[in-house]
Structure 1
């Protein structure tokens, strides 16, 4: 009987010990489960946070650019407020428009450096303008912490030049409707805060061989491939995929919206984050913890380590699509220019102003104009050639050439008669079909070659629906707007936006007054300040 009782007590004690062990195991398991759950929730929140931040920042910057374009084309809203309502903010908008940024922009002006800012568009007495733009994410963050990045705000301050014509100083350093050629010692230089952006509406971008772009590289409907020290100080933004093959330095973000695989080679540096709609393939050291294989997570970890990008995200839905304006069809109507005070003449001289000096009179005639003049040379149906060699075009005023679809400029040197007076020179090959795409029927080529030099403070725009080809020691100030724009062999372009009066290359409708446009209360001067703000309610 004693033995049975003792055995019973031992059995009870063992049962108690087992229960304690089971309870302990349950507690440990619960802690692990809660830790994993918490980490998962935090990871989802972090992902939504960064996605919302990219979307809202892009929208804020788009709003600031939209208001700048409105100011430069005399289209500033009378109340000083500019809004674009898209995406989740307005459920009634669907289709392509729903993927565009939502922003709200306000503008203020003041008369004097110490005066109080007053809401509204600038007047004839204004000296400064301030743009404040708030952008909103299309897809808001899922965690409470992400609400801070559901909106972003920027502030931009410019000098205002009372009485100066606001003649559509819009556009990118290079706007190419189709795939451009960017190679062989090309440098695009920003000036006065104007980023030297490359924007492509339709087609992919391939860039190689010692190219430096002091701005963004944007492909609205294609992929971007950068090779052999082709670098950008701004963002690289493609609707498809991105390939940074080797030795690229990217100052901003890399955004590839497409669902395909983006690749990153060795010696790539990224100053911002990497945001991919698809997967990632790269080379780099394996991560010491977490994902260690060459799966997508391992590649992302390796890229973050080797490039300095932060964050590196892949398989991201709802990334913002790159924004590139549609092609602007620029026709020529003489009355639009004469109504705005331009003199319009029909050229009757030689169509081949060549290097041998036989056309001295034609060269000198261009330098004699003292009032803004449009020179219509479309009578040169076989093409128009300016090949100066030993002559220099000295501008005493603004000139605009209306050209046929074949033009050849070689050994072309242009300067201003007054180093303190800006001069604007435009070559316009009209696009007579208003269909928001370059009309290429009958196109030859706009050829710029053999040591062309544009001296400060002159700026030149070439507009052509045909191919614009630049080669051989180009030193240029201004910008290009073409069906296709190609560069090769030691080219330098300093971006000075002059646009075409009456047309808005940044998107939107032409300003009042047609192609002569401008006038108004004044124009934008130097960029004084660009900074991020805390968005209201964030």
Structure 2
């Protein structure tokens, strides 16, 4: 029995450690598999990191190139960089890009940048932009692009108000427009602008050869361009912008502290005063050629030429036709026989709508009509007179004055046009306040009620005052706008007269056409 047990124990001792060997083998196999997986993961991570770094570098360099495109579209050559290098990404993987620009003529001549951003060597035709992005680890990627450049112009929208000499706006004057997506232009051809006391120009103010003085909440919602010194004495209250878009001055400018400008401030001179709040960039000392340029265009000469008014009743004695019309309307209103509006011996130069005169409205002819009152020293409408139009009408006057709630309305609810024109008395191609030409003055009440549109012209002075409202345009030698007046710009024009353009004569940026954009070897 003991021998059998001894033999059994001896036989079982030969298998000792076999399980351990198997376990070690399995563990080694597992370690090798894990090593393979980890190695693959590390390799994939490295590849992904390199791809991200390359993508970040390329995109940052392309972003710098695109930023130069935008600069060229809205600004002028030699203005890059506007604000230093371009950053792409955030720490710790931030990538920084810088761009250089070379400018070429149409024949391929390399142009050079001069003082204030001017180019010398020929007219600009193309540019080559090279941007290099550098990652935190020093890796660099470079993108290069060639673009063709075509000068573009800032399009004007036609002058709502044209002043040959100077303009004064004060006390709650507003000029706006009823046209969708259309700004208005207020053009001052040869004098200065004094804008004060709650004036709002919902468009552009262009002062071609004078200074601009702004105070007491005068605001321009579009661009403001001034040939000479511009001064803003106080910031607009309530955080409002004094200039809604960009400010251009080919001289020095002084801005009160806190003055808000929605776009850029671009000066050929220097900026002084307080610190403005600017939505874009401030650029001083730029070359005059690098901002939009305007030149005086002169007030157009308008003469008494009835034949220019095609489609109007314009033949015969137009002075007699006017007097006959007034007397007929007064008679239809039952005016007293002794009233001036009824008296054939009087000239009807002064007409009132009150009971002592015309005793009611003057209803216009049913066809477009030219009337001439230049025989009157002053054509005067007052006393609640209402001219009710059934068609278009023009009145030529030596001078014109309306007061006492004078208005022009539509008799049939349709749109009609009404012109008051003080023509130039000396036909020499130059608008002159001489030879007996007089002023236009409107005050104390509404003037033209929609859907009537009004055009007033005189080579002398247009003066509006006291709650005057109308739709249309004003062209005058000197223009004074004040006291709760609202003007709604509607373009009308004058038959036979070409009104000057309000477009600048030089480029305001370029149209950028991409010839190529590609990655290149690092320079």
Do Structure 1 and Structure 2 share a fold, with TM-score over 0.5? yes
CA contact (8 A) 1:210 1:228 kept: yes
| 1:251 paired residue among 227, 244, 256 | 244
CA contact (8 A) 1:400 1:428 kept: yes
Partner of 2:40: none
Aligned 1:299-378 pairs, distance under 5 A: 303=276, 307-317=277-287, 318=289, 319-323=291-295, 325-337=297-309, 339-344=310-315, 345-346=318-319, 347-348=322-323, 349-354=347-352, 356-360=354-358, 364=361, 366-378=362-374
Partner of 1:262: 253
Q: CA deviation at 1:385?
A: 0.4
CA distance in 2, matches of 1:152, 1:255: 18
| 1:283 paired residue among 265, 270, 274 | 274
CA distance in 1, matches of 2:464, 2:434: 19
Q: CA deviation at 1:396?
A: 0.3
CA distance in 1, matches of 2:259, 2:246: 13
Partner of 2:391: 397
- Is 2:190 the partner of 1:206? no
Residue deviations 1:260-313 (CA, integer Å, cap 9, x gap)? x211112321111111000110313xxxxxxxxxxxxxxxxxx3xxx1231110
| 1:492 paired residue among 486, 492, 495 | 486
Residues 219/442 of structure 1: CA separation in 2 closer, same or farther (3 Å cut): same
Q: CA deviation at 1:52?
A: 7.4
CA distance in 1, matches of 2:220, 2:146: 31
CA contact (8 A) 1:205 1:225 kept: yes
CA distance in 1, matches of 2:418, 2:483: 24
Q: CA deviation at 1:475?
A: 1.1
CA distance in 2, matches of 1:400, 1:138: 48
Unaligned runs of 5+ in 1: 1-45, 57-87, 90-136, 157-169, 285-302, 509-531
Partner of 2:74: 53
What TM-score does the superposition give when structure 1 sets the normalisation length? 0.59
Moved over 6 A (4+): 46-49, 137-143, 145-149
CA contact (8 A) 1:182 1:206 kept: yes
Residues 533/279 of structure 1: CA separation in 2 closer, same or farther (3 Å cut): closer
CA contact (8 A) 1:47 1:313 kept: no
| 2:378 paired residue among 366, 378, 383 | 383
Residues 224/450 of structure 1: CA separation in 2 closer, same or farther (3 Å cut): same
Residues 417/440 of structure 1: CA separation in 2 closer, same or farther (3 Å cut): same
CA contact (8 A) 1:256 1:276 kept: yes
CA distance in 1, matches of 2:206, 2:296: 7
CA contact (8 A) 1:216 1:232 kept: yes
Residues 453/336 of structure 1: CA separation in 2 closer, same or farther (3 Å cut): closer
| 1:423 paired residue among 390, 402, 416 | 416
Partner of 2:337: none
CA distance in 1, matches of 2:154, 2:225: 23
* Stretch of structure 1 that moved more, 248-257 or 485-494: 248-257
Q: CA deviation at 1:185?
A: 0.5
Q: CA deviation at 1:152?
A: 6.1
CA contact (8 A) 2:299 2:459 kept: no
- Is 2:419 the partner of 1:434? no
| 2:472 paired residue among 478, 481, 484 | 478
The count of corresponding residues between Structure 1 and Structure 2 is 352
Q: CA deviation at 1:232?
A: 0.8
CA distance in 1, matches of 2:431, 2:124: 32
CA contact (8 A) 1:262 1:278 kept: yes
Q: CA deviation at 1:175?
A: 0.4
SS of residue paired to 1:335:
helix
Residue deviations 1:129-152 (CA, integer Å, cap 9, x gap)? xxxxxxxx9878987379869546
What TM-score does the superposition give when structure 2 sets the normalisation length? 0.60
Q: CA deviation at 1:229?
A: 1.0
Residues 535/52 of structure 1: CA separation in 2 closer, same or farther (3 Å cut): closer
CA contact (8 A) 2:149 2:513 kept: no
Residues 143/440 of structure 1: CA separation in 2 closer, same or farther (3 Å cut): farther
* Stretch of structure 1 that moved more, 202-211 or 190-199: 190-199
Residues 265/360 of structure 1: CA separation in 2 closer, same or farther (3 Å cut): same
CA distance in 1, matches of 2:477, 2:365: 31
Aligned 1:24-423 pairs, distance under 5 A: 53-54=74-75, 144=129, 150-151=149-150, 171-192=158-179, 193-248=181-236, 249=241, 250-258=243-251, 261-284=252-275, 303=276, 307-317=277-287, 318=289, 319-323=291-295, 325-337=297-309, 339-344=310-315, 345-346=318-319, 347-348=322-323, 349-354=347-352, 356-360=354-358, 364=361, 366-380=362-376, 382-389=377-384, 391-404=385-398, 406-410=399-403, 411-419=405-413, 421-423=414-416
CA contact (8 A) 1:49 1:141 kept: no
CA contact (8 A) 2:421 2:456 kept: yes
Partner of 1:450: 444
Q: CA deviation at 1:53?
A: 3.0
Residues 50/327 of structure 1: CA separation in 2 closer, same or farther (3 Å cut): farther
